[in-house]
Amino acid sequence: MSSVTYKPATLNDAELASDVMTAAYPSLPQDPVLIRYHWENPRLGYAYMRFLAYRDGRAIAFVGSVHAPWEKLPDRNCEVEVWLDKAEHTGEMLESMYRWIEAKAVAGGAKLLFSYCGEDEPDLLAVHEALGYERARADKVWELNLTSRGADLVKEASEARGRMESQGIRMLTVDAWGDPRATHKLFDLNMRTVQDVPHTLAIVPEQYEDFETRLRTPDRRLDRYWVALDGERAVALSYLRFPPVRGKIWTGFTCTDPEYRGRGIARAVKLQGLAQAVELGVREVFTDNDAENAPMLHINETLGYVRRPGFVEHHKRVESKGA
């Protein structure tokens, strides 16, 4: 077997990286425009390593790592990822690539490595076990067929809008909001709710500049980004992510202000985005939720979502060489 070489990935490699990542997990296509945007706009203070692996002159894998500033991470946790073209899959190849990026992460000061793979990726599940990773969390994935459920969802969305209006809650898209402080209000709502997502590792509070950048990501359209308002206070939001080139349409985030929970607002605002997708001719949408996020799992079930293979989060304690 010919040897593998690793080369740092540059902005000009974003499209190639997206192709390799898509070949690694075809059921989750990666969009080249989004990959480049994220590479062009790194989160403030975060450390990234990105490489393409080549064999016989052909790119066969994307390998990388990322972590927030160490001072914000009590566990000094660092994500490592290996996207190996399925045509090249062997346990030996996967293991060698993980060991390669693990070594770089540990040399950089990581004390805990974490990595994700699909429940339907037996090769990767086996490699994580062989390398000493432990399953930490599970992420459930759901698919909603808008072709069969469309008419019902549009009706439910209209009824939900009426119920919300009777409570003094308006629902509209961000582009129709017209509030000069809309971005700041959405950021504040995000900050009030994101820590409620079930987690094991620390969720590092996002800086406003990063949130603003993320709001402009090419798959987030403000005319498809829904917000629920009590007066001019943002109390809930939900949006779908529409990849510009290729990929699935996913729920980006749905949340409700803690003071407004228990009133059906999250379900109502999520319905507005789904009804809009029906009207746009979208056939199916996907969403994922932590296995312990009971409220959102319940909403998915009542809306008619069907389970699909999800993702497993793996953790591995390591001895840091760079701390």
SS (H, E, C) 160-215: HHHHHHHCCEEEEEHHHHCCCCHHHHHHHHHHHHHHHCCCCCCCCCCCHHHHHHHH
DSSP for 295-317? HHHHHHHHHT-EEEEEEEEEEEE
The pLDDT of residue 320:
58
Report the alpha-carbon distance of residue 173 to residue 279 in Å, rounded.
Answer: 15
pLDDT tens for 10-31 read 999 999 999 999 999 999 999 9
For residue 57, give the H/E element and its range. Answer: none
- Given a contact cutoff of 8 angstroms between Cβ atoms, the answer to whether 21 and 62 are in contact is yes
* Domain shared by 107 and 241, yes or no: no
Residues 104 and 236 in one domain: no
Q: Are strands 112-118 and 77-84 parallel, antiparallel or unpaired?
A: parallel
Mean pLDDT of 202-225: 96
On whether the CB atoms of residues 227 and 186 are closer than 8 A, the answer is: yes
Point out the domain boundary residue: 88, 113, 132. 132
Where among 77, 102, 132 does a domain terminate?
A: 132
Domain for residue 76, yes or no? Answer: yes
Assign 230 to helix, strand or coil: strand
Question: Which of 72-86, 224-238, 307-321 shows the lowest mean pLDDT across its residues?
Answer: 307-321
State whether 27 and 104 are in the same domain.
yes
Question: Same structural domain for residues 127 and 195?
Answer: no
Q: Are residues 151 and 295 in the same domain?
A: yes
Report if residue 50 sits inside a domain. Answer: yes
Q: Cα–Cα–Cα angle for 177, 180, 185, nearest 5°?
A: 75
User: Each residue of 116-135: pLDDT tens digit?
Assistant: 999 999 999 999 999 999 99
Q: Are residues 278 and 158 in the same domain?
A: yes
Same domain, 107 and 158: no
- Whether 113 is covered by a domain: the verdict is yes
Residue 247, pLDDT above cutoff 80: yes
CA distance 92 to 196: 39
Q: Does residue 94 lie within any of the structural domains?
A: yes
CATH of residue 86: 3.40.630.30
Given pLDDT bands bounded at 50, 70 and 90, which one contains residue 321?
Answer: low
Residues 198, 101 share a domain: no
Instruction: For 279-319, write each residue's pLDDT tens digit.
Output: 999 999 999 987 777 777 778 888 888 999 999 999 999 97
Cβ neighbours around 78 below 10 Å, total = 28
Quick: pLDDT tens for 174-192.
999 999 999 999 999 999 9
Do residues 232 and 179 lie in contact, with contact meaning Cβ atoms separated by under 8 Å? Answer: yes
Give the dihedral of Cα atoms 154, 141, 62, 38; nearest 10 deg.
Answer: 40
Number of domains in the chain: 2
Sign of the C-alpha dihedral computed for residues 123, 128, 134 and 136 taken in this order: negative
Structural domain including 126 reads 5-132
At 323 the pLDDT is 42
Domain end (from 114, 132, 150): 132
What's the CA gap between 316 and 113, in Å, rounded? 5
Give the model confidence (pLDDT) of 60-71 as tens digits. 999 999 999 999
pLDDT at 322 over 70: no
Among 166, 20, 121, 305, which residue's Cα sits nearest to residue 129?
121
Across the chain, mean pLDDT equals 94
Q: What is the pTM of this model?
A: 0.93
Residue 320 lies in a domain: no
Chain mean position to CA 107: 27
The CA-atom distances, in angstroms, between 23 and each of 30, 59, 309 are 9, 11, 18
